[in-house]
Amino acid sequence: MTDPLEQASDLELAKLAQETDETAFAEIVRRYSPRVFQIASRFFRDRTQVEDASQEIFLRAYTHLADYEGRGSLEGWLTRIATTTCLNLLRNSQRRPESDLAEMPEAEAEWLDHHLAGVSAERHRAAEKSREAADLADRVLGTLSPDDRLVLMLVDADEMSIKDVAGATGWSESKVKVQAFRARRRMREAVEKLLTVRTRNPSK
């Protein structure tokens, strides 16, 4: 026998949860935890951090459930809460100092060397290289501001539209465009520095 809550619409679930029905909110958590974890994974790499951030997102959603009037989708509403919560958590956490970039582990340096040598994207994406690339990406993104990081992950990596990013962040569309423009420049400059170092000292 199927649970009637599983058949309920998002709006019905939200209304039931507003009436302090815990099982209805549990169903919301079940439905949207993959989406929330996906967003939190964009900001944090460590499993514990992702889990803590996701829990914080659902706690905020529960506290502000009365604000959801069913005008937009519940997923969109949760995406906005997830994005702003993660952004705030990231702002509060310590930023990595830029000098970290200079001390690059061998595996990450190798990834850059492959890139400079013009190794194809397919080979770059090979499973064993993915981890190094993700580590290097984290190091580079760690030198940028949380706002830059957010906009790069959403616009360039996830290919979300400017309108959707504006909806998720609460920023204006022009702010998203300007932020993306500046973030791309900063990221490109950071990677340029690494590439220059690798070109000059390939053995290091």
Partner 1 sequence: MKENHIVNLLERRSLGSLSVAELEMVKAHTAACPECLLAYQAAQASLLLLQERASVIVEPPPFFQTKVLAAIREQKLSSKRLRFSRVWQTARPLVASMGALVVLLLALTFFNNSEPPTEPSNVASVNDSAPEWVIVDSDDAGDEMTYSQALTVLYDPTMEAGDADGK
Binding to partner 1 by CB under 8 A, coded x per residue (else -) over 126-145, reads ----x--xx-xxx-xx----
Interface pick for partner 1 out of 189, 200, 201, 204 (rule CB under 8 A): 189
C-alpha dihedral sign at 122, 128, 134, 135: negative
Q: Taking the complex as a whole, how short is the minimal distance between the CB of residue 76 and partner 1, in angstroms? A: 20
DSSP, collapsed to helix, strand or coil, labels residue 138 as helix
- Identify how many contiguous H helices and E strands the chain contains and give both numbers: 11, 0
Residues in region 67-106 near partner 1 by CB under 8 A: none
Closest CA to 190 of 145, 140, 115: 140
Q: Taking the complex as a whole, how short is the minimal distance between the CB of residue 1 and partner 1, in angstroms? A: 20
Contact by Cβ (8 Å): 74, 14: yes
| Consecutive H or E run containing 159 | none
Binding interface with partner 1 (CB under 8 A): 22, 25-26, 29-30, 33-34, 36-38, 40-42, 45, 47, 50-51, 54-55, 58-59, 62-63, 112, 115-116, 121, 124-125, 130, 133-134, 136-138, 140-141, 152-153, 155-159, 180-181, 184-185, 187-189, 191-192, 195-196
